[in-house]
């Protein structure tokens, strides 16, 4: 709803997501509840662009990675899921114009392949694929 040139529905949605991100979680149970709330909220509302990077990291369980580690993972080249990643990224790139203004398809492919490499042995291929579909 536009009032005074402001999209008040988006402001409410952003605040709701921001509230979830600002919660103090003192144990793994409360953190898991917050992640579940975040997933449910993101199904119903769009992700604010300024929060997108942090939200992706939270949902994927990527809490810290050094530039050196990321470069190493990228240098490993295509992962075992590269074909599936490429099949999925073209859909993302054709449907989100604001996203493609800042992120090229090659950048997205590199980061997703690095994610797969970083989780090698930690998750099954099926579990990683579920993140991508």
Instruction: Give the chain as a 3 state SS string.
Output: CEECCEEHHHHHHHHHHHHHHHCCCCCHHHHHHHHHHHHHHHHHCCCCHHHHHHHHHHHHCCCCCCHHHHHHHHHCCCCCCHHHHHHHHHHHHHHCHHHHHHCCHHHHHHHHHHHHHHCECCECHHHHHHHHC
How high is the pLDDT of residue 4?
45
- Considering the domain architecture, whether residues 15 and 55 belong to the same structural domain is answered as yes
Domain carrying residue 16:
1-63
- Considering the domain architecture, whether residues 29 and 52 belong to the same structural domain is answered as yes
- Considering the domain architecture, whether residues 24 and 13 belong to the same structural domain is answered as yes
Q: What is each CA distance from 105 to 11, 21, 32, 88, 101, in whole angstroms?
A: 29, 28, 31, 10, 11
- Considering the domain architecture, whether residues 77 and 133 belong to the same structural domain is answered as yes
How high is the pLDDT of residue 31?
87
- Residue ending a domain, choose from 63, 87, 102: 63
Segment 79-98, tens digit of pLDDT: 999 999 998 887 776 777 77
Q: Between these two residues, 2 and 53, which has the higher pLDDT value?
A: 53
CA–CA gap between residue 133 and residue 116 (Å, rounded): 14
- Considering the domain architecture, whether residues 78 and 123 belong to the same structural domain is answered as yes
| Tally of structural domains, the chain | 2
Per cent of the chain over pLDDT 90 is 17
Q: Token match 């999209």: residue? A: 7
- Considering the domain architecture, whether residues 101 and 38 belong to the same structural domain is answered as no
If you average pLDDT over residues 46-73, what whole number do you get? 84
- Considering the domain architecture, whether residues 47 and 69 belong to the same structural domain is answered as no
pTM: 0.58
If you average pLDDT over residues 98-111, what whole number do you get? 85
- Residue ending a domain, choose from 63, 78, 107: 63
- Residue ending a domain, choose from 63, 89, 104: 63
Question: Which of 25-29, 45-49, 92-96 is least confident?
Answer: 92-96
- Considering the domain architecture, whether residues 37 and 55 belong to the same structural domain is answered as yes
- Considering the domain architecture, whether residues 80 and 96 belong to the same structural domain is answered as yes
The pair of structure tokens assigned to 50 is: 């300024």
């Amino acid at each position: 709803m536009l009032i005074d040139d402001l999209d008040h529905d988006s402001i409410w949605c952003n605040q709701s997501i921001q509230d979830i991100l600002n919660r103090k979680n003192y144990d793994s149970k409360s953190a898991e509840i917050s992640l579940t709330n975040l997933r449910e909220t993101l199904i119903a509302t769009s992700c604010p662009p300024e929060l997108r990077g942090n939200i992706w990291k939270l949902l994927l369980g990527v809490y810290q990675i050094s530039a050196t580690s990321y470069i190493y993972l990228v240098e490993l080249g295509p992962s075992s899921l590269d074909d599936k990643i490429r099949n999925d990224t073209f859909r993302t790139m054709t449907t989100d114009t604001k996203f493609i203004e800042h992120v090229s398809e090659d950048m997205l492919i590199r980061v997703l392949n690095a994610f797969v490499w970083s989780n090698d042995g930690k998750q099954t291929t099926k579990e990683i694929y579920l993140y991508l579909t």
